[in-house]
Amino acid sequence: MAKRDLLSLWDLSAAEIRALFVRAAELKALRAHGERPLTLGGKTLGMIFEKASTRTRVSFEVGMYELGGHAVYLAPQGTQIGRGEPLRDTARVLGGYCHGIVIRTFGQEIVEELARFSPVPVINGLTDLSHPCQVLADLFTVWERLGPVAFEPGPGSVRFAWIGDGNNMAHSWIEAAAILGLDLTLACPDGYDPDAEVLGRARKEADWRAHIDVVRNPVEAARGRNVISTDVWASMGEEGEQGAREKAFAGFCVDEQLLGLAARNVMVMHCLPAHRGEEITDAVVEGPHSAVFTQAENRLHIQKAVLERLLAPG
């Protein structure tokens, strides 16, 4: 069977995403009862991390352990990766040792080159362009709380909003909207729009039900929405732009006033770490509408489902 990668959400069909939700729910329930389905017994996951991480690293390591496998953490320091070994060489060497590779890095082209030369599945743990595992966890959180009807047309259909930078998280939300046929409005300041190619592909290949819009006013994006998501204004590698971004993003804070415009049962999401008081207030993170820590936990469960699908197909 040909190996499969998860480099972006485009690598999954709508049916496969829904199947991952079902399996993640099963795995979450089993864990709550102290059960460990050892579906990846004898499997090893190589983990290349060129960016700092809490949730991605821990959730993949714990996930492999709970499925009976093992994870090997590789940082640039102390490996040949940091000394400039060609990525194609690393890909083939790790592919000879491991049954899968997760990489958290900068350019999307790095992940794509690794996957091109790796004989085993490659999972995108984050790039500057996309963050598919996080958005899968976010979508699973919505599915878990509101049920499958949340993604179907009709009265129970959920309306989504993204408030903030048109960054990697926004890109993966756009891809999810196109694949699953979601109603998504993104509010981004002028000059901080999502990548034009990402947006163009999504609109071209979108499910007929999908509605993807970009606006300038967060009030317009939040009004009547059931799910509101946000992220830091300056992502990793953009810290030098913090001052300029604070000015550009003035008025884009997800606060209680903004929530007052949303649907009564609105869910608020943030992929963490959060700069409380900037893109989101402490009151919202800790408030009754917050799903922040549930979505963080759900990284573990959805990634276990992804690992099973890619490393133990069939």
The catalytic position among 270, 299, 301, 309 is: 299
Question: What is d(CA 177, CA 41) in angstroms, rounded to the nearest whole number?
Answer: 35
Q: Are 266 and 289 in contact (CB under 8 A)?
A: yes
Q: Are 119 and 92 in contact (CB under 8 A)?
A: yes
**Strand order in 159-163's β-sheet?**
211-215, 183-187, 159-163, 227-230, 267-270
With vertex at residue 56, the alpha carbon angle to CA 191 and CA 226, rounded to the nearest 5 degrees, is: 55
Supply φ then ψ for residue 47, to 5 degrees. Answer: -125, 110
Pseudo-torsion of CA 286, 148, 131, 304, nearest 10°? 90
DSSP H or E segment with residue 100: strand 100-104
How many other C-beta atoms lie within 10 A of the C-beta of residue 164? 28
The catalytic position among 133, 188, 253, 271 is: 271
Q: Catalytic residue at 245?
A: no
Question: What is d(CA 312, CA 90) in angstroms, rounded to the nearest whole number?
Answer: 23
Q: Catalytic residue at 104?
A: yes
The catalytic position among 23, 55, 57, 131 is: 131
Amino acid at 179: I
The catalytic position among 5, 98, 133, 134 is: 134
* CB neighbour list of residue 36: distance below 8 Å, 6 or more residues apart: 30, 66, 67, 68
CA 1 to chain CA centroid, Å, is: 27
**Token representation of residue 238:** 């953009």
The catalytic position among 57, 99, 104, 159 is: 104
Q: Catalytic residue at 282?
A: no
The catalytic position among 128, 231, 245, 309 is: 231
Q: Catalytic residue at 231?
A: yes
Q: Catalytic residue at 271?
A: yes
Question: What is d(CA 149, CA 17) in angstroms, rounded to the nearest whole number?
Answer: 14
> What residues act catalytically?
104, 131, 134, 231, 271, 299
